[in-house]
Structure 1
Amino acid sequence: MNISINLKKEYMTIPSHHKLFDTIYIGGGTPSMLDTNQLRKLFELFKDMNPIEYTIEVNPESYSHEKGLLFKEYGVNRISLGVQSFDQGILNYIGRKHQTSDVFYAVNDLKKLGIDNISIDLIFSIPGQTIKTIEHDLTTLKQLDVNHVSYYALILEEKTVFYHQYQQGLFVQNDSDLEADMYLYVMQKLSELGFEQYEISNFCKNKLYSRHNSLYWSLEPYLAIGAGAHGFDGKIRYHNHRNLIDYYQTFTKEIIHCEEETLLSDALIFGLRKIKGVNINELNDRFKVDIIEKYSELKKFFDLHLIEIDNGYLRLTKEGILLGNQIFEVFI
């Protein structure tokens, strides 16, 4: 079974006039685990595209100088580094294999190569974490001097180690008050470090927003190839087989034609993740609705000062960001 050949076959099914991308994002799974020969085959697919933003996800322990040189050669200009925590006990608990020294090596080597648009992924509300460990993570982050941070709250997802532990009663989630305290601390400290929060979990310096992720939050189309990949053309969502044998036989597992009601719901849920919010007049015109009238339950959130309209944008307030999931349920 040659997955690289099948990936190329799927890529070749994309019409040439659709192969003009502002962004390329290689991720989901751990692409940096590929060796340099495998990475070269992958990069060869996109060698003539020259996107504005070209990102690859990297785990610190799988980075090497040789891979960095390859990134540079093929025009990769943004790295998303899966750090999760700088506390070794927490890393051991969540099954991550790297050490803090691996992170510093990767960041410093990438900068020497001229790739300085680096994002660090961190997680809070992992069982065993405290405000003190979050403080340590942020102190270490400051030393790295990167320009983007994605800081996520731990979420229980099916088919994960944590979910399996939860089913066995071996996983105890942090209570909501502690999680809220951690999130407020993260927002405050990152602001003090010069980061702008532009999405619920994303912070940057120098306006270096993630162009690619912004497509998801703005309900813009994006193409996807590869096992387990998810794509969206503006009205249709699709995803490929995750199982490699199934993917080798036929790429796509499911195609979902989205109703207008679903697209409106998605536009609001994803759009309200952005700190700026959503342009309410544009959505009203696009979907031929009055959002405030259609979702009358929003009134109580206005009254509680959890949402507001500012310069034509419906957005979460600072208090509302903490209770975003409750607000999003209005649109489901």
Structure 2
Amino acid sequence: MRSRSPWKPLRLAAALAAASAAAMPLAPSASPAAAEPAGHLSPTVKSAASIVYDPGMKWRCYSVSNETAGSNYGNDSRDCGKIVHPNRVNADCTWFGYTSPRGVECPAWRFVTYNWGQDRLRAYPGYDHQVQGDSGAPLQLVLQNNSRGLRDTAGQTQNCELKEVAVSHEYVGSSFKRKADGSTYNFADGQVKVAYDALVEQTGGFACEEKRALLTTDFIYRTARGINVISVVHFDPGPFSRPNDDGVLWSNNCRKADGTADGCRMTVHGEQLTPGERRHLEVDFSGIATKYRGYLNGEAVPSASQIEAVQVVNSAKGADLKAEVSGLDVTLG
């Protein structure tokens, strides 16, 4: 799922508005039934522990979601038996093609693409998503996003549409666990951190006026007001944007384009990656929310704040960018 906005630098405009969200509908979750494994046995997590079924993405139990077409392809369920759990049973996931002794189960994680047609998969210009390594160890996930030299439909000019390839932990009962009492994890339950290893490489320059070749970590959670998204930028060679004095690159001020109330979306700088160098990244989203609560409707972490997704997103316009990701985990403590 993505709640996407073509964010603009705050320094260039006094009032900013987000584009409408383009999130897929949430899959219904399984009925509360069984407690999660040790470390998840109380309604409130007291020490840092993973809240996803496949921390590090070690198992090939995934699908590929084409957000633009609203379709799924490339399902791989060969390792799903390693993470069977009654809270993952969901009849709405028959499309995935995996059935455990308890019933139909969902993918544990997903690749997500935006604005790429499947005819451009493993082509150039085009996109790719690869899974490398042995099951049972953190898999290396390759996100290839090559739109430099891509022509428009008439074949005359450079295509400068936003293109994205991402990897995602998303949906309760699919990627995210439940507490022992059957309730969902909220941002307010403790300190939420996301960690993983990453490497990025850009080849060639920029073919569009907007110099966009970004790698971000996106945290998505649901509040009474709507979907909130905090995006943290780790790579921006353009640069696509420059931050405000307080470090914020973009915010929708919790408003839609027509000025009505909406979920809050903001983008900030995080730890930066050097091209060609693998680095461990850790993002403290609780700390970011506290620091920038003014951009989140004054609520750093509202009590009603169901965690929906964590994504690592390769985003480009008229640029070629490859990202390698491994060990992606979401912890709460």
Q: TM-score, normalised by structure 1?
A: 0.26
Higher helix share: 1
Where relative contact order (Cα < 8 A, 6+ residues apart) is larger, the structure is: 2
Q: Tell which structure's C-alpha radius of gyration is larger.
A: 1
